[in-house]
Amino acid sequence: MKFDTPAGSNPIDQLKVIGQPADRIDGKLKTTGTATYAYEQNAAVPDAAYGYIVGAGVGKGRIASIDSTQAREASGVIAIVTYENAGPLAKGEFYVARALAGPQVDHYHQAVAIVVADTFEQARAAAGLLDIRYVAEPGSFDLAAAKDSATPPPPAGFGPPPQTSVGDFEGAFTAAPVQIDQHYSTPDQAHAMMEPHATIARWNGKQLTLWTSIQQINWGVRDLAKTLGIAKEDVRLISPYIGGGFGGKGTILCDAVLASLAARHAGRPVKVALPRPLMFNNLTHRPATIQRIRIGANHDGLITAIGHESWSGNLRGGRAEAATASTRLLYAGANRMTRLNLAVLDLAEGSAMRAPGEAPGMMALEIAMDELAEKLQMDPLQLRILNDTQVDPEQPTRPFSKRQLVECLNTGAERFGWQQRNPQPGQRREGDWLIGIGLASAIRGAPTTASAARVRLDRQGVITVETDMTDIGTGSYTIIAQTAAEMMGVRLERVVVRLGDSKFPESSGSGGQWGAASSTAGVYAACLKLREAAARAVRIDPQQAEFVDGQIRAGSQQVALAQAAANGELTGEDRMEYGDLSQRFAQQTFGAHFAEVAVNAATGEIRLRRQLAVCAAGRILNPKTARSQIIGGMTMGAGAALMEELAVDHRIGFFVNHDLAGYEVPVHADIPHQEVIFLDEVDPYATPLKAKGVGELGISGAAAAIANAIYNACGVRVRDYPITLDKLIGELSYPV
């Protein structure tokens, strides 16, 4: 099926199941500990040996020698794989990092060996007996030091163009009577998901099966086959439950590759789970940025020039952090410029992390907007509203399919009590605490990708949905079940959903805020096929058939849905593809973030007191699971604003705080109150369900709202994240 005209009225619009706050159908499995994650597939693979991966001990250099004599003689050891016996390995199409070092070491903790033994303890002990000698080489580990060597990256399949230009930015900025020209920085950040990267690999002849934690099954099959030099048809990936991904499990990484190699050498299945330090230094992360934002405006607040430049670093061949993405679309302004710059760094690969581009970019842009408002002596809320646009600022003939940014801002301002804000910083006080509130706009793309599904009807009237879509904790099982239940006219409990197996039809996968909208559209297409087959089976005109309360109806005819499968199971399978609507209309999600903080006037300690997000993201398929997604994004935004920072050792080249003791993330006590509001919206240009993704909108802008609240509280403007008390305390004045 091809979606190339705006959606009209269809069965989804009944909203009997879709749009309702259904509990997650996988919730009981998660809360009782019976959901089986990748490392826990003991029933499927009862005879697995254990693999332990050894990471490189230098940040840049080469392996001079590997002596595995003692390790091979250790108790329980079955096999050891290094570059010397691994065979040729290519790289996949998405990540540039090599899964196995040798002889060159590209970054600290790049895998140099995997040791396989009968038990985990034996594998770990034997790994410690490997004698690996390195020759260290000078490396580049400091973005600030490498900034001047950065160059525009080549165009990539993801993110904005490296450079954009509309009008005469330099001339308009120079002529603007009011100007902002500031630099901002964001640090390296870790995904730090609860479930570590883990894989069980089993060979059966040339057939390779992996139980692995991965967001994009289709990418994983493609990239693993290419890396190992085998046919895609010989690879099966299974990933029914995933304990968090945030972009860090987009496709296969070293756990999958090395488990596969180890299982081949051991002649039996091998299971691998990465220790936390390897998750931080071996895998991907959100790379640091240095950003320069220049905005010129008239005295009335209208933006006449807006420019955004960003510098980030990566392994050679890697992608730039797309921090300029939101600036291209968020505000009006005739004269515009964005520019990405990429330096080569010898740190672990920088890649996608929740809202790549928008999250770090808006951490800078939305502070700059507040700084411009202050120069103009204007309410930051009104400045944003004044510079709203209903067309793509770079292509004024291209309207937005839906854009309710102003409505989000006004709704949030009313609910949060924005009118009570004192525009003069440092004026509201409660004892030793200075109180402030801040806001930020939010924008995140609403892409869709092709997605397929298979839907089956059995003699009991039970609907089974099969698709290789994954659930990374976002509620995919539930919204897919809701889609099928709505389309087939049955109760939610009459739907069984099977996900995360490459044997199933290829879906969009989870990532890029495209998963929910795309995968449910694929289920919609498959259900249309099943509806037609079911109607014909009971001799009802498919064009007249209605599917209601477990029945097929047309006029005076009324037949139980189960009767359609009386002579055997019926199947509907289809793939949703997309036309040019996304080129004709700018498709984005919008929101507004508000935050209230308290800053201790004596110590600089920061307390986040409340957060509000108002979102416009098309039809909300399940307000309960969507709310959880926004709250998760807001919480990550709080972490980015106040605590998350990978500390880089610039001498050796590694992230020092490579565990959850040193890398701080927010906990419940850090964020006492969060509220989410969804505006009523359907977007017929998005999908047949008129829905968009929402999982990454919750982080976009959240950190900047907190930064602006801190400035309103104490009058200290911090432009280098995270905002910690040491960056405030020297600027605070405490009355004696």
Do residues 680 and 618 touch, judged by C-beta distance below 8 A? no
* CA angle, 495 then 497 then 499, to 5°: 170
Q: What is the C-alpha separation between 23 and 399, in angstroms, rounded?
A: 36
The pair of three-digit structure tokens given for residue 262, joined into one six-digit string:
């180890």
The single-letter DSSP state of residue 641 is: H
Q: What is the C-alpha separation between 715 and 708, in angstroms, rounded?
A: 10
Catalytic: which of 493, 506, 696, 731?
Answer: 696
Q: What is the C-alpha separation between 306 and 297, in angstroms, rounded?
A: 9
Catalytic annotation present for 394: no
The pair of three-digit structure tokens given for residue 481, joined into one six-digit string:
């079940």
Do residues 263 and 45 touch, judged by C-beta distance below 8 A? no
Q: What is the C-alpha separation between 416 and 675, in angstroms, rounded?
A: 10
Q: What is the C-alpha separation between 32 and 17, in angstroms, rounded?
A: 26
Do residues 181 and 378 touch, judged by C-beta distance below 8 A? no
Q: What is the C-alpha separation between 427 and 90, in angstroms, rounded?
A: 60
203-220 b/e (C-beta count within 10 Å ≥ 16 → b) = beeeebbbbbbbbbbbbb
Do residues 638 and 37 touch, judged by C-beta distance below 8 A? no
Do residues 733 and 599 touch, judged by C-beta distance below 8 A? no
Q: How far is CA 494 from the centre of its chain?
A: 31
Q: Which residue has the tokens 């037609």?
A: 532
Other C-beta atoms within 10 Å of 389: how many?
18
Do residues 152 and 340 touch, judged by C-beta distance below 8 A? yes
Q: What is the C-alpha separation between 632 and 513, in angstroms, rounded?
A: 14
Phi, psi angle pair for 657, to nearest 5°: -90, 70
Encode 452-515 in three state secondary structure. Answer: EEEEEECCCCCEEEECCCCCCCCCHHHHHHHHHHHHHCCCHHHEEEECCECCCCCCCCCCCCCH
**Catalytic residue IDs:** 696
